[in-house]
Chains A and B, each alone.
Chain A
Amino acid sequence: MRSRDGNRPFTFSICTLILLTSLTLHAKEYFISYRYVVKDATLYNETLYVSSAMQKCSGVPQEAIVLENSKKSNSLKEILLKNIDHFLSHVNKLALDVKHTEKTKNLHNSSTTILTLKTTCFKVDFNDNFVTIAPFK
């Protein structure tokens, strides 16, 4: 029969294991895509798609950003839209697809630029007042 002192490391390791497992399970993976259209130097349309991943994403999480979640919302889309500027400054460092067309007809010019973040898997950690997201690479 083990003494109480002898059981302490065992209990500690079990607790650590449970904590780590819960943290791992708590981290979710989401697919995020973003697209915006600029027409004649003016923002015309903006679309943000967020979807929970049904399969585990492959790759290594890259540099993470921390977004504020003061309302303790569970909706990632809501959080991203609230911190869209911070998120976009991070997205700018990722690969963005640029499509630009310009038409000059009888000296009248019109242009359309479409910037797209292709669907990318992000690792998302929901905490009390903030959310950490990191893109997979």
Chain B
Amino acid sequence: MKYSLLLAALLSASSLMAVDTVQAQDSQEQQPAQSITVECATNECPPPPPALEDEPVLTHNKDVLISVTGQGVAPMNTTSPAQAYALAKRAAVADAYRMIAEKVKGVRVDGEDLIKNMMVKRSTVRTSVQAMVKNANVVETTFKDGLCEVEMEIVLSHSQFAR
């Protein structure tokens, strides 16, 4: 009887310690994710990584040329090839503007995953960009197999940003 009581006490003590250890491990594993969320929520995100060697940097005496290629397709219910071309070109120009805005200003990305019973039920990624683009030039337009491609360029100078 004595031994059985002692055994039971030992088992309960060891199980409590094991639970504490697992909780400690869990909290250690969760720490990095929590720290990232908290840091960015208070606008104290780490500084951006330094520019790569090939990446153009905007300086006082050096302009940066940004070149993008936007793509667009014509709607299904067009009355003529000319109309299809015109509409596809407009869509391609909008795509090119979007790409310029993304390159210059950056993209906001929001992600959301719904996991239920250890299975991904829904995965959603939303990206958005809003910008005012000025002095963009259409360099070349090609239309082939219903796809219109517009090459667009914009020159950024330091004086446009430093005010």
Asked if A103 contacts B125 (CB within 8 A), the reply is: yes
Contact partner, A101, options B72, B93, B128, B136, Cβ 8 Å: B128
Report chain A residues within 8 Å CB of B86: 84-85
Chain B residues positioned under 8 Å from A98 (CB to CB): 94, 97-98, 100-101, 129-133
Contact with A along B55-98 (1 / 0, CB 8 A): 00000000000000001111100000000001110110111011
> Is A42 within 8 A of B74, CB to CB?
yes
Tell me which residues across on chain A come within 8 A of B132, comparing CB atoms.
95-98
Beta-carbon contact of B91 and A104 below 8 Å = no
Query: Is A99 a contact partner of B72 (Cβ separation < 8 A)?
Result: no
A-B contact count (CB 8 A): 97
Taking each of B86, B91, B100, which has the highest tally of chain A beta carbons within 10 Å of its own beta carbon? B91
Chain A residues whose CB sits within 8 angstroms of the CB of B72 once the complex forms: 38, 41-43
A41 and B127: CB pair below 8 A? Answer: no
List residues 80-126 of chain A with CB under 8 A from any CB of chain B: 84-85, 88-89, 92-107, 113, 115
How far, in whole Å, are A76 and B138 apart by their CA atoms in the complex? Answer: 25
B126 CB within 8 Å of chain A: yes
Nearest 5 CB-CB pairings of A with B? A95-B134, A38-B94, A104-B125, A100-B98, A43-B87
Q: A95-B132, A104-B124 are in contact. List 15 more A-B contacts (CB 8 A).
A: A41-B72, A42-B87, A43-B75, A43-B91, A89-B138, A92-B136, A95-B134, A98-B100, A98-B129, A98-B132, A100-B129, A102-B126, A104-B125, A113-B94, A115-B94
